[in-house]
Amino acid sequence: MVAVKNRGLGRGLSALLGDKPTPEVMSQSTQIPITKIRPNSYQPRTRFSEQELSSLTESIRREGVLMPILLRPDGDGYELIAGERRWRASQAAGLVEIPAVVREVGDLEALELAIIENEQRDDLSAIESGRAYKRMIDEFGCTQQQVAEKIGVSRVQVSNLIRLLQLSDTIKTMIDRKEMTMGQARPLVGLPVDVAEKLALQCIEQGLSARQMEREAKRATKEVVPGVAKEPHADVTALQEELTRRIGLQVALACKKNGAGELRIKYKQPSELDAVLKKLRS
């Protein structure tokens, strides 16, 4: 059984994301026609293992669907929230109906549940997680801290995963295929594309660790961009992004080792400054 972390889901939703059917879940389950179900528009997972689906299909042919899927009403049918592999495998197995629990769930919660279901099974790549977190921020106005609290991870991890989206498509594909981990790829953020891709290939071919990649990236940075400033800490980056979102203007935060620092707010015209002053005075 896959353990479901306590992420404050409430309303018994955590029980619906596990692998073992509980009496509570089964009592809420009903048979739903497969043709009335459409895929989750907030599904963060883009790759499904054909081998895993084939194995699950054979299991369903023998034993049926043991754990209900999670749906929400959608027009004259339903939208899938959790259990896409079971739904796909059931179709392949030729089932007409599938056991499901139907809940009224908002868009943000549908995305949140889809992320949690996949992450607790380690099904998402770092890029898929980063895209999903960014979607929570861009479409629903969440801060990185709020994303972290909803999903049950640290704010630093949220920031690091989102920053991976700055990498080239070639490197992101390597991460999607799980040829590289977040720790191995993170030092490549900010490097010129050709340098980053060369190091990524080196990482895969030589099996470099995350620490070794950090050393290689630092060496490459000194060679390509002499005197480049040290990359800001993930917490500083996250705080800058949160302040920028709340204030509505670009914020730059510089922190020193002794705890002192400097906060800069950039504005283009007096009206923007007036708006910030009003917020501060209120």
Find, among 155, 147, 126, 172, the residue nearest to 234 by Cα.
155
In this structure, what token pair is assigned to residue 66? 């043991």
Q: What is the largest CA-CA distance in the chain?
A: 70
Give the sign of the dihedral formed by CA 122, CA 57, CA 112, CA 138: positive
Paired tokens of 47: 């790759």
Residue the block writes with tokens 């059984």? 1
Cα 148 to chain centroid, rounded: 10
Residues acting as catalytic residues: 84
Alpha-carbon distances, residue 16 vs 11, 57, 77 (angstroms): 10, 20, 20
**209/187 Cα distance (integer angstroms):** 11
Cα 48-52-55 angle, rounded to 5 deg: 145
C-alpha dihedral over 246, 247, 253, 255, to 10 degrees? Answer: -60
* Long-range contacts formed by 243-246: CB under 8 A, 24+ apart: 245/141, 245/143, 246/143
Q: How far apart are the first and last CA of the chain?
A: 51
